[in-house]
Amino acid sequence: MAKNRRIPFGYQMKNGKIITEPRELYAVSKIFADYLNGYSLLEISKAMQEECIPYHPGEDFRWNKNMVKRILENEKYLGDKTYPQIISADIFHRANNKKAKKATNLCIIPDELKDLRNITVCAECRNKLFRNQNGTWNCKSNRCDEFEYIVTDQMIVSAVLNMINSAVANPSLLDADAEMSVYTPNGEVIKQKNEISRLMDSADIEYDRIKTAIMELAELKYECCTYDDVPQKTALLKDIFANVKQMNSLEIEFVRRIVNHITVSHNATISLEFINGVKLNNITERLRGIECDNDTCK
């Protein structure tokens, strides 16, 4: 995982003073212009990738929607005693007002929550959860009842962030018991081995028949072998987490890299299943729907 920038995108340090960086200044201006012209965060991130202007100086690092979002929200572009102005107050506020309006639009789920919803399922029926207009989540599957307790955006984000930070602090939580490969011969294998022994003990050995029988035995043995890639995935997770520090905010791209599923149960238990199958649970504060007034649900 790339390290956070010490100087915001668009700026550079020169002779002890922060000044604008020409290529990054162009990128910042283009990001605001494209967003106001109706492009999504994903479309802008793809466009920035094509511009070949790295977000992290000196690194070949791919752009993602979170980087674009951070640029749109960075008030330093308005200018102060330390940072030269890049974006006018009018453009900055129009872009952020549009983003806030988009996030609360009844027909639109914020980009980050769309990504989170794609990997969040009901613990009981395994169907994708439904996100209501007020930011609460529920299971709408015909095979399930609605949640007994309220589950909100913030509850899910906070729970996932807490579990990831727990794994950062205690990498042993990522350990999974698994074997690289297992071979367990079945009855067909034993039967074929006996047949080969019988052919070998025959007074009139038929070499072609024995060769065919041996090849068939090899195929049967291969079918009895199981391969488990959990150890490799666990090692990959350990390597990833070795370079990660405690997070203050959830980075969706990082979550998608390390997580198979997020599950939410009807009793408001939120679980994280890593790519190696290890699960962590986080029991959130529970509020029943009947106890929730309009203010609580917002």
3-class DSSP state of 134: coil
- Helix segments in the chain, DSSP class H: 22-36, 41-51, 65-73, 89-104, 111-118, 153-169, 187-200, 207-224, 230-242, 252-258, 294-297
More confident residue, 87 or 131: 87
At residue 1 the predicted structure's pLDDT band, cuts being 50, 70 and 90, is very low
Rounded to whole angstroms, how far apart are CA atoms 218 and 189? 9
pLDDT value at residue 295: 39
Mean pLDDT within 187-191: 84
Residue in the block written with tokens 């969040």: 120
Contact by Cβ (8 Å): 117, 129: yes
pLDDT value at residue 32: 95
At residue 193 the predicted structure's pLDDT band, cuts being 50, 70 and 90, is confident
pLDDT in tens, 75-121: 999 999 899 999 999 999 999 888 777 655 544 566 677 888 889 99
Residues in the chain: 298
Residue in the block written with tokens 């102005």: 85
Contact by Cβ (8 Å): 87, 28: yes
β-pairing, 151-152 vs 136-138, is antiparallel
pLDDT in tens, 141-158: 887 888 888 888 888 988
